[in-house]
């Protein structure tokens, strides 16, 4: 475990750092899925706003 001690004997513990790795670029299939999810989210938001304005 990594730690340091100051002049008064107090310990400072540090969290264990996990290994870093580079992110992979999304595939064409994943990009299409993200675009579809974004479109559905925009559609639901528009329907929600129109419903709120219609009821008020």
Q: Tens of pLDDT along 1-56?
A: 577 777 887 777 776 778 899 999 999 999 999 999 999 999 999 999 999 999 98
Residue 48 is part of which domain span? Answer: 22-56
Residue 11 lies in a domain: no
CA distance 35 to 47: 18
Torsion of CA 31, 36, 40, 41, to 10 degrees: 10
- pTM of full prediction above 0.75: no
Q: How many domains would you assign to the chain?
A: 1
CA atoms within 13 A on the CB side of 15: 3
First to last CA, the chain: 60
What's residue 50's pLDDT? 97
Residue 37 lies in a domain: yes
CA distance 38 to 35: 5
What's residue 45's pLDDT? 98
Residue 35 lies in a domain: yes
What's residue 41's pLDDT? 98
């Amino acid at each position: 475990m990594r730690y340091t001690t100051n002049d008064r004997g107090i310990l400072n513990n540090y969290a264990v750092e996990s290994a870093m790795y580079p992110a992979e670029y999304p595939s064409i299939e994943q990009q299409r899925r993200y675009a579809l999810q974004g479109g559905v989210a925009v559609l639901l938001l528009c329907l929600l706003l129109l419903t709120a304005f219609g009821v008020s």
